[in-house]
Structures are given as structure tokens and as C-alpha cells.
Structure 1
């Protein structure tokens, strides 16, 4: 089985080719590049580098959100276009599931946080000690509410994601449970991780048609909120 993975839910842009439990090629950038300019060349690069013809791909894994509205739309449009052109299914993987999947064989509760502005984060709670478990699915909340809920669970917590640099000091000053921050090599979205979790979901039958896949934003865009406030 071969999977092409496409990730653009945040500042990170990433593409990977996965084949039978091996990441054959991966290309990741985290350097303020425009996804609309970089994503297709990155996909072309990982396909060529892994000697993979695009027609050999069995499915396309794509980060389904939450995250940057623009980034999610670019990733979804790219995956949907390829899926429709090739007649291949899509594996819509929640962004926070994929981010949490970077952490393996840990007894701690895994808490990825993405900065959603205005003191809010996108987050979810996970375990990945013996098997990957979604303890609480993706949601948006004030960072204070997230820390309060985590404290009520009483577990040690590993924080990761692009929200960590924003809220690191707040967590240090306000979180009472044992915790750690994931190191750089496992604290951001990666298409390689997306492909691995996508393969797991593919085997479970969690696929959608390219036509039906839609991103999960969790909340309305700033433009939509501003429009509603005017009315």
C-alpha cells in the first residue's frame, strides 16, 4: 500500500510518501513560505525522490483541521484535486490527532495546542502508551479552561504544537500538574506522521471520497465573525 500525505494546516508545509510502514520520502518546511507556492512542488519532489508514480498511490492523507483557514483550504483543495484526478480516496486526519501521534510509548496525557488567537487554542487529549487513544476530540477553548480541565484529570501532560511558544510561560506559571514540553523533532505537524496515522485509519476503513471531504474549522473565520458583528 502506498499513501501520499499532504499537510498545510499551519505555518508548516509538508508532503510525504509512505509505503508498507516505511516513510520513503518526506519534505517539510516551517519558514513562512506560501503554501499555494510550495505544496505542489513539494509533492512532486517526494514522488520523484521515492521513485513513485502518482498513479501508484492508493490513498491521499490530508490534515483535515482545525488550523489556519487558508492553509486548510489549500491542503484540502490540493488533496481533493489529486484524488478526483486519480480516482483515489482521501483519508481526512484531524490535525490534532496527527500532532499527538508524534508522541509514542509514553504514560503521559498528550495535549497538542494550536494557537487560535484571543487566548484560545485548538486542542484535544490523547494517550499513546500501548495504542493510540483519543481521550477528548478536537475542540476550541480558552487556555485557562484547558489547563483547568487537564488538572481535573490529574495526569502528567506532554504539551506540543505551535501554541507552546505562545503559552509556554502561562503554562509554567499556572499549571499545577507534572508536565513537559515536547522537543523540536516531535512538536510540529509532519506529513510523515500524517501518513503513518493515515495508514492506520485507512486500515480501519476511515476514508472519504475526494468530492465529499471538507475541512473541520471548529469555529468561524475572523471575517465571518466580523460580518456577523456588523449585523
Structure 2
């Protein structure tokens, strides 16, 4: 089975071709360019450079979040279109799972942290077990101090990864003993890691429905601001 894997949940745009035994090709761009102008060009180049066509692809994998609202919609729309057009299945995988899977051999707690603005992060806690991830808590949007408290209570060594380290690495290091930090190339979501997780599901005939949607954890900023304004207006009417 050959699959195409795409992630656009964060600033990184990444795509990969792989089968159950081999990574065929992977492209990753980590800058502020618009994903809408990158993703399909990356897919076309992956296929061309690998001497494959879209007809050779047996399934598609995409990150479902959490992450950037716009980026997630671009990735999901792209994969849904490819899946529908090729009449091939697709599956969506958590961005946090993909980050953690790159560190599945670490013998402690694996803690991906994705920037959720201000002093909060999207996160989950995992342990690796024979090449598989075991979740210790559910996907969460947490204030940084709340995450630190949870980890202190567990009293184990922790490996952090993710773009949240750009802002919070010093604070985490100062406030949490026995903390470790993934190298830069493993602190971004890799389409190959996402693909490894997704291909196992596709091989088990598990796939998403075409109407599946991104997993945000937080409401979009515009919606939160609207709800706040409406609540204030209702208070003023009382």
C-alpha cells in the first residue's frame, strides 16, 4: 500500500509518500509561506520525483489538529478532494500523536506542546510501549503552569517537542526538573510520522467519512470574541 500523507496544522507544511515498509519521499518547509500555495505543489513534486501518479496512491492521511484553524482546513480540504477524486480512502490523525510518535522510543513521558497563544499550549502525554503510543491524559488546551503541575505530580523524566518550545522552552526548563527537549528536526510535525500512524489504520480498513472535520480543541478566535461580545450585551440588557 502506497499512501500520501499531508500536514498543515502549524507553520510547517509537510508531505510524504510511504508504504508499510519504506519512506519513499518527504518534503518539509518550515516558514511563513501560505500553505494554500504550497501543498499541491509539494504533492505534485513528490509524485513526479518518485515516478508515481495519483492513480498509484492507495490512501491518504492528513493531520486533523489541533493547530492553526486555517492550516487545518487547507489540509483537510486538500485530502478530501484527492480522496474523493481518486475514490480512495483517507484517515485523519491528531497532530499531537504525530509529534509524539517521532519520539516513541523515549523511555519516559513524551509531551508535545503546540502553541495555543498567550501562555497556553495544546498538549497530550504519552508513553512509548513496543513502538506504540499510550496516552496518559486526553488531548487538552492547558495553561503552561497547569501542565507543569500535572508533570510534577507524575514525577518522571519528560521529553518535550513541538513548536510551543520556541516560546516556552526556557520556562519549562526552569520550572520542571528532569526535563529534556527534542532536537529541532523532531520538534516539527513530520508527514512521515503522521503517515506511519495512518497507514496502520488504513491497512486495518479504518478510514474517515468524507464529512469528518478538523479537531480544534479551542473555538476560533472570531467565535470566542463574538460570544464574549454577545455575553456583555446580554449583561447590559439586564
Aligned to 1:227: 226
Q: Deviations over 1:132-154 (max 9, x none)?
A: 22222321010110111011111
Counting only pairs closer than 5 Å after superposition, residues 47-58 of structure 1 correspond to structure 2 as 47-58=47-58
Q: Which runs of 5+ in 1 are unaligned?
A: none
SS of 1:91 mapped into structure 2: strand
Q: Deviations over 1:110-146 (max 9, x none)?
A: 0000010121100001112423222223210101101
SS of 2:44 mapped into structure 1: helix
- Structure 1: how far apart are the matches of 2:129 and 2:90? 27
Q: Normalising by the residue count of structure 2, what TM-score does the alignment of the two structures yield? A: 0.93
Q: Deviations over 1:33-60 (max 9, x none)?
A: 1100000000111111112221121111
| Native 8 Å contact 2:10 2:71 kept in 1 | yes
Q: Normalising by the residue count of structure 1, what TM-score does the alignment of the two structures yield? A: 0.95
| Native 8 Å contact 1:97 1:134 kept in 2 | no
Taking a change above 3 Å as real, the CA distance of residues 58 and 11 of structure 1, as seen in their structure-2 partners, is same
Shift of 1:89: 1.4
| Native 8 Å contact 2:20 2:196 kept in 1 | no
- Structure 2: how far apart are the matches of 1:100 and 1:191? 13
- Structure 2: how far apart are the matches of 1:45 and 1:225? 39
Q: Which runs of 5+ in 2 are unaligned?
A: 231-238
SS of 2:65 mapped into structure 1: coil
Equivalent residue pairs, number: 229
SS of 1:6 mapped into structure 2: strand
Taking a change above 3 Å as real, the CA distance of residues 147 and 201 of structure 1, as seen in their structure-2 partners, is farther
Aligned to 1:138: 139
- Structure 2: how far apart are the matches of 1:120 and 1:204? 36
* RMSD, matched Cα: 1.2
SS of 1:206 mapped into structure 2: coil
SS of 1:64 mapped into structure 2: strand
